[in-house]
Amino acid sequence: MAIKKLKDMKQGESGIIATLHGSGNVKHRLVDMGLVHGTKVHVMKFAPLGDPVEIKVKNFELALRNSEAGMIDVEVE
């Protein structure tokens, strides 16, 4: 499996969260949304200009800014 930043994944790709970088309120907010090590994520789509990215996590959909998606390393399937 390859490791990619969530923001660098393509539409339709899936993977498992390997690492969550960052600190403070942003990291705490991502963890509160369920983005933790071992969680499966699926990239649904990108906005027309590439920001934000819509992902599916634990049967719900989230929109993340590219700056937030850049903090998440994913093992791509």
Which pLDDT value is given to residue 38? 92
| 72 close to 20: Cβ distance less than 8 angstroms | yes
68: which 2 tokens? 């937030």
Going along the chain from its start, the domains and CATH numbers come out as 2-76 (2.30.30.90)
Burial class (CB in 10 A: 0-12, 13-18, 19+), 35: buried
Give the number of residues written for the chain. Answer: 77
- Coarse DSSP helix, strand, coil percentages of the chain, rounded to the nearest 5 percent: 20, 45, 35
Question: The pTM is what?
Answer: 0.85
Amino acid found at 22:
G
pLDDT along the chain (77 residues), means of 10: 90 93 88 90 90 91 92 91
